[in-house]
Structure 1
Amino acid sequence: MTDISTSVPLTRQITSRTVLRAVFENAPVSRAELARLTGLSKQSMSEIVRDLEDEGWLRVTGRTQGAVGRSAVTYELEPRKAFVFGVDIGGTKIHAALADLTGAIAGEIIESTDSRGGERVVDQIVRMHDALLEKTGIAKKAVKMGAIGIPGAVHPKSRQLTMVPNIPGLTDLAFEDVLRDRLGYDILIENDVNMAAKGEQWLGNGRSIDNFVFVALGTGIGMGIVNEGRIVRGARGAAGEIATLPIGADPFDSRTFMAGALESAIGSIAIRGRYEALGGTPGLTVRELFERKDDPAAGMVIDEVARVVATSLVAISAVVDPEVVIFGGSVGARPELVERISFYLSRCVPVPLSCTISPLGSQAGLFGAIAIALEQFRETLFEIPGRADLGMAFMAEKTS
């Protein structure tokens, strides 16, 4: 029987994984086309496809008409052969989901984040994972990979979490290792705004765009950078932490040290402060402020914030040169703000940046987590063990 595990001969691992990759990249696809794409003999291909179908990796999608009237069966990966676990952790809520190999969500759960943080959040994630298994009827062994977005920086080498101000105790944990041990499969953690950028690249306004930035503006501000199709993380995982840009406030003012100059000027606390300083009704939420269409003070605040954001985008553009800026977050998703940002950009640069609002809303981070988990699982699935022996083994199978 065909097997993609490392317990079978290398030649069979290579051919099985090669066929799976070809099906994934070209589905729906016939056996004859797979033989042409991989260089395997028709006999070998028939055996491998039959075994992969028997083991649940492939399914029949239909038939294709040949040039001389013959039809051929076409195949694709069986989406429910394996699942991934995606999680978006915020300071106030956790959104978790299980998704199949196409990214279709099989089940999802939202809970308030355990304010005690640390190990309590780990316990909460495991509990939500198990609840999803029960809710969907998916077997635990079918979940192969997970990815989690966290509001902080992840060091690319040490995998240590830093800069997590809203959830206590997470920086004291080897978060990936702890969850791997608890869940029984690999877990990848990533900055939450980077996850949202990945979600935009997969399903949102970043599709087919190699260079863009995702700016999340709400309680604070953060940015995910996609350059040449890849997420930019930086030496310490802090690329895109634009809250500290020296714009909008004095970066040397001790009052801005913790939040950062830019965030101190345009975060939700600053927006309410600006409004009340202009004589606006005290105690309003940012959402209520934006909804006061005929309030001159509210209009002035939106204008002031837009001008500061536009100034920061000019600086960002000089370094990153994105094709598009995608806005998200409770403040960034406000059309009236993005309209004013575009207005100010047109006044200070010859070729203004294109600005748009995420169509994914609050789900961008979750979709990004699912996308990254799927990418990592597919890498693992298609990876060939013993690459040094690849050529000899593959030729042996082709000539068998």
Structure 2
Amino acid sequence: MKDYTKGTSDLIKNINKANVLDVIKKMQPISRIEVSKVLKMSKSTISAIVDELIKEGLIVEKGYGEKGTVGRKPIQLYFNPNAKFIIGISVESTNSIGILTNLEGKILKKIKWKTGVKEEAFNGIVKVIKALIKENKNIIGIGIGLPGITDIQKGIVNAPGLRWINFNLKEKLREILDYNIYLDNSVNYAALGEKWLGCCQEVENFVLINIGNGIGAGICVNGKLLRGSSYAAGEVGYMATGDDVFERTYSYEDYGYFERKASLSFLFESVSQALPHVKDMEDLIEEYKKQNLACVQAVSQFIKNLSMGIANIVSILNPEAVIIGGDILNYEIDIIDELKEKVRKIVPFDFDIKIAQLREDASAIGAIADVLLNTNNLLL
């Protein structure tokens, strides 16, 4: 039988509080009476909530509005984005990012580091979190995006790029850190970041495809992240686009079939086999700029493979937009126009393909957003 959520007084209070804070953020300066009219709530209820928000430092009173027909001029309310702070971590297989922001997502401190694997990856996360904690004591939570299937309730992560299998990250972090900790797939967080502060603020249905050493997708349906029954929604790296998929069996420890056809790892391997002097992606880009035939052909095949995968995603989910993000944005390969052309040959639907606005910060910003959503400091 379905479990029903009980509408407790605390739950209702938190919803009302989040609504009041959201109205003040968006309509400041605004008076108590104006907030009550917008939310259609009693003046006494609004006043009690505003007093609580002022006590927490989230709202400040400053100046007076226009005087009405009778009585005093209303005191104006403003949101204080520097009342509290949040840590957001974006972990990827190669490089990771940690940020400290205020309640508006303004980045106050940013740290980048080489991720590593196994214990090295875990220790790097802890080191950066502790460094960011030293910047400010009033931190309300920590959000961490991971490059793999992440159980957001139990905190268990399966990330082949980190060599983590059934790794209980949340439990290990709680042994060291006394903070609210939230976890999710890093691409889900990238999608959430673009929804909050990036290119999808007015878009309700979109898919963000992160292209790096592997491939993952964050799916937003009706303004909400789609996670799936076992938190594996968006694991598009396991899609099959050719019958040679049956030549092997794929597991958590592996990159998926589609990742092996349309990731930067595939692109680099295909070029380096033809051009042994190509030692890294920077070398590859140089050869591409020179229009080296083997390199141009490899990039062309890479785009074809990617187009087939995107066409499958578009045909199933019918998004308004497909957002391209990830490490591919760090290299001078313009794929958008060719992707649009090829995908539109396969599917007849109207949609857009564009670049992630927040670029490398998208996932860390999304981690910040998740903390704010879970602590009733943000509505999307």
For this structure pair, what is the TM-score category when the shorter chain's length is used for normalisation? 0.7 to 0.9
Contact map agreement 2:84 2:139 (CA 8 A) in 1? yes
- Aligned mate of 2:219, from 207, 222, 225: 225
AA aligned to 2:230 is: R
Deviation at 1:346, TM superposition (A): 2.7
- The corresponding residue for 1:171 is 166
User: How many angstroms apart in 1 are the aligned matches of 2:10 and 2:215?
Assistant: 50
Contact map agreement 1:198 1:371 (CA 8 A) in 2? yes
Contact map agreement 1:149 1:365 (CA 8 A) in 2? yes
Deviation at 1:331, TM superposition (A): 2.6
- Aligned mate of 2:24, from 19, 23, 26: 26
- Aligned mate of 1:155, from 151, 167, 177: 151
Residues 332 and 223 of structure 1: is their aligned pair in 2 closer, same or farther, counting only changes over 3 Å? farther
Which residues in structure 2 correspond to 1:368-383 (within 5 Å)? 368-378=366-376
- The corresponding residue for 2:298 is 301
User: How many angstroms apart in 1 are the aligned matches of 2:219 and 2:367?
Assistant: 16
User: How many angstroms apart in 1 are the aligned matches of 2:164 and 2:56?
Assistant: 43
Residues 114 and 81 of structure 1: is their aligned pair in 2 closer, same or farther, counting only changes over 3 Å? same
Which residues in structure 2 correspond to 1:251-330 (within 5 Å)? 251-254=245-248, 258-276=254-272, 279-280=274-275, 282-291=277-286, 292-293=288-289, 294-330=291-327
Deviation at 1:340, TM superposition (A): 1.5
AA aligned to 1:112 is: K
Contact map agreement 2:208 2:219 (CA 8 A) in 1? yes
The more displaced of 255-264 and 96-105 is 255-264
Residues 332 and 81 of structure 1: is their aligned pair in 2 closer, same or farther, counting only changes over 3 Å? closer
Deviation at 1:377, TM superposition (A): 1.2
Contact map agreement 1:24 1:77 (CA 8 A) in 2? no
Structure 1 vs Structure 2: percent identity of aligned residues?
Answer: 25
Contact map agreement 2:155 2:171 (CA 8 A) in 1? no
Unmatched tracts of structure 1, length 5 or more: 1-9, 383-400
User: How many residues end up aligned between the 2 structures?
Assistant: 362
Deviation at 1:109, TM superposition (A): 1.9
AA aligned to 2:131 is: A
User: How many angstroms apart in 2 are the aligned matches of 1:261 and 1:111?
Assistant: 29
The more displaced of 46-55 and 291-300 is 46-55
- The corresponding residue for 1:40 is 42
Contact map agreement 2:239 2:257 (CA 8 A) in 1? yes
Residues 74 and 151 of structure 1: is their aligned pair in 2 closer, same or farther, counting only changes over 3 Å? same
Which has the higher Rg, Structure 1 or Structure 2? 1
Residues 301 and 256 of structure 1: is their aligned pair in 2 closer, same or farther, counting only changes over 3 Å? farther
The more displaced of 361-370 and 54-63 is 54-63
Kindly provide the CA deviation profile for residues 348-385 of structure 1, in whole angstroms up to 9, marking residues without a partner as x: 23335421111211111111111111111117x99xxx
The more displaced of 347-356 and 181-190 is 347-356
Residues 363 and 47 of structure 1: is their aligned pair in 2 closer, same or farther, counting only changes over 3 Å? closer
Deviation at 1:209, TM superposition (A): 0.9
Residues 13 and 161 of structure 1: is their aligned pair in 2 closer, same or farther, counting only changes over 3 Å? closer
- Aligned mate of 1:341, from 339, 342, 347: 339
Are residues 1:81 and 2:89 paired?
A: no
Deviation at 1:97, TM superposition (A): 1.9
Deviation at 1:199, TM superposition (A): 1.2
Are residues 1:57 and 2:51 paired?
A: no
- The corresponding residue for 1:126 is 126
Residues 191 and 183 of structure 1: is their aligned pair in 2 closer, same or farther, counting only changes over 3 Å? same
User: How many angstroms apart in 2 are the aligned matches of 1:61 and 1:154?
Assistant: 44
Residues 67 and 213 of structure 1: is their aligned pair in 2 closer, same or farther, counting only changes over 3 Å? same
User: How many angstroms apart in 1 are the aligned matches of 2:216 and 2:75?
Assistant: 49
TM-score (norm 2): 0.83
Deviation at 1:323, TM superposition (A): 1.2
- The corresponding residue for 1:146 is 142
AA aligned to 1:356 is: K
SS of 1:236's equivalent in the other structure is coil
- The corresponding residue for 2:359 is 361
User: How many angstroms apart in 1 are the aligned matches of 2:204 and 2:104?
Assistant: 22
Deviation at 1:183, TM superposition (A): 1.9
User: How many angstroms apart in 1 are the aligned matches of 2:69 and 2:369?
Assistant: 41
Deviation at 1:194, TM superposition (A): 1.0
- Aligned mate of 1:93, from 95, 98, 107: 95
User: How many angstroms apart in 2 are the aligned matches of 1:341 and 1:316?
Assistant: 13
AA aligned to 2:303 is: A
Kindly provide the CA deviation profile for residues 84-117 of structure 1, in whole angstroms up to 9, marking residues without a partner as x: 22111122333112222222223222222244x2
- Aligned mate of 1:72, from 71, 74, 84: 74
SS of 1:184's equivalent in the other structure is coil
User: How many angstroms apart in 1 are the aligned matches of 2:181 and 2:10?
Assistant: 28
SS of 2:233's equivalent in the other structure is coil
User: How many angstroms apart in 2 are the aligned matches of 1:143 and 1:316?
Assistant: 38
Deviation at 1:225, TM superposition (A): 0.9
User: How many angstroms apart in 1 are the aligned matches of 2:338 and 2:131?
Assistant: 44
Instruction: Compute the RMSD of aligned alpha carbons.
Output: 3.2
Deviation at 1:290, TM superposition (A): 3.5
User: How many angstroms apart in 1 are the aligned matches of 2:161 and 2:74?
Assistant: 57
SS of 1:148's equivalent in the other structure is strand
Kindly provide the CA deviation profile for residues 172-193 of structure 1, in whole angstroms up to 9, marking residues without a partner as x: 33x2233234221221110111
- The corresponding residue for 2:174 is 180
Residues 67 and 244 of structure 1: is their aligned pair in 2 closer, same or farther, counting only changes over 3 Å? same
AA aligned to 1:365 is: S
SS of 1:101's equivalent in the other structure is coil
SS of 2:140's equivalent in the other structure is strand
Contact map agreement 2:152 2:183 (CA 8 A) in 1? no
The more displaced of 148-157 and 62-71 is 62-71
Residues 355 and 49 of structure 1: is their aligned pair in 2 closer, same or farther, counting only changes over 3 Å? closer
